[in-house]
Structure 1
Amino acid sequence: MGNGVLVGADQVDRLSGSLKGRRFALLTNPTGIDSGFRSTIEVCAGIEGAKLSAFFACEHGLRNELQAGVKFEDHTDEEYGIPVYSLYGKNRVPTAHSLQGLDAVVFDIQDLGVRFYTYLTTLVYAMSACAENGVKLIVLDRPNPLGGHRVEGGLLREGFYSMVGAWEMPVLSGMTIGEFARLVNAQAEKPCELEIIPLQGWRRSMEYSDTGLPWIMPSPNMPTIDTVRIYGGNCLFEGTNLSEGRGTTRPFEMVGAPWLDHKQLCDTLNALELPGVRYHPVTFTPTFQKHAGQLCKGVFTYVTDKTSFLSVESGLTLLHHIVSLHPNEFEWQGSEDGKTFIDILSGSDEVRRRIAQPEGLKEIAASWKRQSQEWGEQRKSYLLYED
C-alpha cells in the first residue's frame, strides 16, 4: 500500500454502501485500479447487492487500446457482455438513452490536473448529463500527479470551449479530480447529485511518486511522471507544425522539426537561465503523426529542479523563440470546431496573435500568472486535503 495512500477504489465497503440496491454504470479506463493492482471493473462487478449494467469509455477506449484522437462507437464488452457507451465518437456526452434505468455512474480515471487532457472534459460532460437525467455521480478520487499546489497558466475564455477545455480554469488546476468535481458542481447552473470517495493518506505536497501507488499510463503518450511534468507547456506544440514527440519513446519531452536550428535554439534558451530547466539538442525520427519517418532536429526539456520548474511558462518561452528563429518555416496548424487548435489549447487567441513579439511573451506570461493566482484562491473552498 506504498506510503499508506488509499485511492477511492480501495474503499470497497464505502462504495458498496453507496451502490447497494442500485443499477450503475462505470466510467473508467486501465488507470482505474486499486493500490493492489485490482481493476475497478473487477471491484465494481463484484459488489453484492448492486448491478454493474454498462460501461462508459472516453478517449483511448475502455482498455486504453486506441491512440490519441481515434474515434470509436458503442459496442458490447466481450468480457462482461454489457454495453460500452462511447464518449469519444458521435457522442461526447452520455445520452438519455445510455443513462436510462441507471441510478448512478461511478467515475474512476487517473487525471493529470491539466485542462486540455480530455478526461476532465469527460467528467464535466458526465456531470451535466447526470444532472439532466437524475442520476447520481460517484467520483473515486485519485492524486493529482503533480501534487496539490501547482497552479499555472491562463484561464480558458468564453468562445474557446471544446473537448480540450470545458471549464474556466488554468492549464494546471492544482486539484485532484474529486476536488475539481466539487468546484464544477458548485459553479454549474444545474448541479448533479455528487459523492466523492476521497483519498486516504494523501497530502498536497505529494507528487505521484511519493504515494507508493502504481503508475498506470493514463494514455499511450503519457508514459511517466516526467512526461506529465512537462506536458502542461509542451502540449502547446500540438497546435504547430513541430512534432511534440509523439511517435517516439519521449513524447512532449522532445519537440522538433526537420528544419529546426536546434543547437542555436538551445544556446538561446539556456542563456535565459529559466528556473529548474535545461535544454539540450537531440535528433529523433517519429514513427507516426507529424514528420513520421523524417529525421527531426529537436530540443529535449530536462527538468533539473522540479520545485522551481514552471512548465507552462517554459513551454511559452520555447514557443516564442522557435517562432522568432524560424518565421518562414513555422506554422500554426490543426483546427477543431472551426477554430485554430492553438487557440482552444491555450484558451484564447492571444498566443497565436502575440507570441512572436518579445513584449507579447512577457505580457502573456504576466497575465497568465495573475489569472492562475486568482484561480489558486478561488479553488480553496473546494479542497479536501491538507498540506
Structure 2
Amino acid sequence: MRIIEYLNKIGIVFVFLYSTGSLCAQQPKLQLGAERMEVILPLLEGKRVGLVVNQTSILENTQVHVLDTLLAEKINIIKVFAPEHGFRGTEDAGAEIDDSRDQRTGIPIVSIYGRNRKPTAAQLADLDVIVFDIQDVGTRFYTYISTMHYVMEACAENGKEVIVFDRPNPNDFVDGPMRRDGFESFVGMHKIPLLHGLTVGELARMINGERWLQSTPDTCRLTVIEMENWQHGDPYWLPVKPSPNLPNDQSIRLYPSLCLFEGTGISVGRGTYFPFQVLGYPDPSYGDFQFTPVSLPGFDTNPMHKDKVCYGVDLQQTAFEGGFTLRFLIDFLNKAGDDRAKFFTRPDWFDLLAGSKELRMQLTNGMTEEEIRASWQADLDAYREMRQKYLLY
C-alpha cells in the first residue's frame, strides 16, 4: 500500500484491473475509438492526414501512441497539431506552444496554442483529413474541446474532413451552471453546463447539430469512431495524466469543483505533487494542513503563492464520488470573513470559468448550495433534453 500511495503522489494514474478471469469474462474489454483499426484504416488510406493529439493519444491495448501506430500502418501523416500543454503535455497552463518537429518520427508539429488557436487555410492546404484524438475530462473549461471546435470550424471553412477517435468521459455527469451569452471564451466556447456529460465524439456531433460553428453557416464533414463496450455511467480511470496538473484520479474527480478557485486568491496546490487535491492560503486561519507551492517542472513553474507556506485542507484521501459541488467554495468564502467580494481576486476570470457572473453574485450574497442549485435546474433540464439527440452510448 505504501508503494501505491507514493506512486500516486508523484503523479502516476492507476488503472485498477480485475484479477479474476470470471469477472473479466462478464465485463467485455473497452475498445477505444483509436483501437478500431479495422474501421480507421479504410478511412485514412491514400489520404494526407493531420493529427490533433497529445500524450493521452495512446492505445491502451498496446500502450503505443496513435501517431506511431498509424505510421506503422503506412498511413501518410503529414503533420501533428499541438494543443495547450504541447504534443507531449508538459507545458504550463496558458504557456504558448512553438512549432517544432517530433524527434522520434521527424513529423512537423504545428502549434495551435500560440500565434493561432485555429488552424489556418495554409496549414490545412496539404491535408485531406484531420484526426482528433485527445482525452477530455468532461468540463466546459478544459481547453481541448475548444481546440476541437476550432479544428472543426477551420475544416468546415476549407472543405476538409474531421475524424474523432472517441474516448470515455471520466467525469460523466450533467451538472453546474450553464454558460450565458456574453461569456464566450476559450474556457467557455459552448452553451453547455460546467459538466456536459458527453464524450468528445458526442460533443462534436452537438457542435455540428446545433450549428455552433461561428464563422461559417456550414457544418463540418464529421466522422466519429465510436468506442465499443462503454456506456454512460461506466467508470473510467485514465492511464495517462491528461494535463500537467491532473496527475491522478482524485485530482480529475475534484477538478470540476476546484477549478473555479483559479478566479480567487486560494491555491489549489499548483506547484506541488498534489494539485487539485488541496486548498490553501498564506494565513493560518484557513486550516491546519500546510503546503508550500514551488517551481515544479512538469507541473507548474510559476504557481500562485510561490515559496509561501499555505494553510488549508488536504483532500487527497477525501471520499468524493465525482460530479460538482459548491461546498469547498462556500467553506473558503466563509473563511475569508465579512468582505466576501475580496475573495474573488480575479472576478472576470471566475465569471468566464463559471459561464456568467451570476454564480459569483449568488455566492457573495450568501446563498446556500441548495438555493444556487435550484436556479440551474430549468436550464439543465432543457440541456438534458437537447443532449439526447447526440448520445452514442
* TM-score (norm: length of structure 2): 0.84
1:373 is paired with a residue of what secondary structure?
A: helix
CA distance in 2, matches of 1:134, 1:323: 53
Q: Which residue of 2 aligns with 1:371?
A: 379
| 1:297 counterpart = 2:321 | no
2:242 is paired with a residue of what secondary structure?
A: coil
| Counterpart mapping for 1:1-387 below 5 A | 3-35=28-60, 36-48=62-74, 50-147=75-172, 150-188=173-211, 189-209=217-237, 215-259=239-283, 261-263=285-287, 281-288=288-295, 289-301=303-315, 303-304=318-319, 306=321, 310-318=323-331, 320-324=333-337, 327=340, 330-333=343-346, 340-359=348-367, 363-385=371-393
2:177 is paired with a residue of what secondary structure?
A: coil
2:90 is paired with a residue of what secondary structure?
A: coil
2:176 is paired with a residue of what secondary structure?
A: coil
Whether the 8 Å contact between 2:184 and 2:190 is mirrored in structure 1 is yes
Q: Which residue of 1 aligns with 2:12?
A: none
Compute the displacement of 1:187 (Å).
Answer: 1.1
1:208 is paired with a residue of what secondary structure?
A: coil
CA distance in 2, matches of 1:320, 1:370: 27
CA distance in 2, matches of 1:326, 1:216: 41
Compute the displacement of 1:215 (Å).
Answer: 1.3
Whether the 8 Å contact between 1:155 and 1:170 is mirrored in structure 2 is yes
Letter in 1 for 2:167: R
**Higher alpha-carbon deviation: 24-33 or 372-381:** 372-381
Whether the 8 Å contact between 1:259 and 1:329 is mirrored in structure 2 is no
Whether the 8 Å contact between 2:99 and 2:110 is mirrored in structure 1 is yes
Compute the displacement of 1:90 (Å).
Answer: 1.3
Whether the 8 Å contact between 2:286 and 2:332 is mirrored in structure 1 is no
2:162 is paired with a residue of what secondary structure?
A: strand
Whether the 8 Å contact between 1:57 and 1:87 is mirrored in structure 2 is yes
Compute the displacement of 1:226 (Å).
Answer: 1.1
Q: After superposition, what is the alpha-carbon deviation per residue over 1:41-66, rounded to whole angstroms, capped at 9, x for unaligned?
A: 11122233x31001000000001121
2:178 is paired with a residue of what secondary structure?
A: coil
Letter in 2 for 1:12: M
CA distance in 2, matches of 1:157, 1:82: 40
Q: After superposition, what is the alpha-carbon deviation per residue over 1:317-363, rounded to whole angstroms, capped at 9, x for unaligned?
A: 345434446648634228xxxxx111111101123333222237654
Whether the 8 Å contact between 2:193 and 2:380 is mirrored in structure 1 is yes
Percentage identity across paired residues of the two chains? 37
Whether the 8 Å contact between 2:81 and 2:111 is mirrored in structure 1 is yes
CA distance in 1, matches of 2:383, 2:136: 19
CA distance in 2, matches of 1:371, 1:319: 27
Q: After superposition, what is the alpha-carbon deviation per residue over 1:167-222, rounded to whole angstroms, capped at 9, x for unaligned?
A: 1111111111111111111112421000000111112121113xxxx610000101
Compute the displacement of 1:245 (Å).
Answer: 1.1
CA distance in 2, matches of 1:137, 1:120: 14
CA distance in 2, matches of 1:179, 1:310: 19
Letter in 2 for 1:123: M
CA distance in 2, matches of 1:380, 1:125: 24
Letter in 2 for 1:45: L
CA distance in 2, matches of 1:126, 1:319: 38
Q: Which residue of 2 aligns with 1:275?
A: none
What residue ranges of structure 1 are gaps of 5+ in the alignment? 264-280, 335-339
CA distance in 1, matches of 2:185, 2:344: 22
Compute the displacement of 1:74 (Å).
Answer: 2.0
What residue ranges of structure 2 are gaps of 5+ in the alignment? 1-14, 18-27, 212-216, 296-302
Letter in 2 for 1:203: Q
Whether the 8 Å contact between 1:253 and 1:300 is mirrored in structure 2 is yes
CA distance in 1, matches of 2:68, 2:334: 49
CA distance in 2, matches of 1:310, 1:384: 21
**Higher alpha-carbon deviation: 375-384 or 136-145:** 375-384
Whether the 8 Å contact between 1:236 and 1:315 is mirrored in structure 2 is no
Whether the 8 Å contact between 2:171 and 2:195 is mirrored in structure 1 is no
CA distance in 1, matches of 2:313, 2:159: 50
CA distance in 2, matches of 1:183, 1:6: 23
Whether the 8 Å contact between 2:171 and 2:323 is mirrored in structure 1 is no
Whether the 8 Å contact between 1:152 and 1:312 is mirrored in structure 2 is no
Structure 1 residues 208 and 326, CA gap change in structure 2 (3 angstroms): farther
| Aligned-CA RMSD value | 2.1
Q: How many correspondences in the alignment?
A: 354
Letter in 1 for 2:324: S
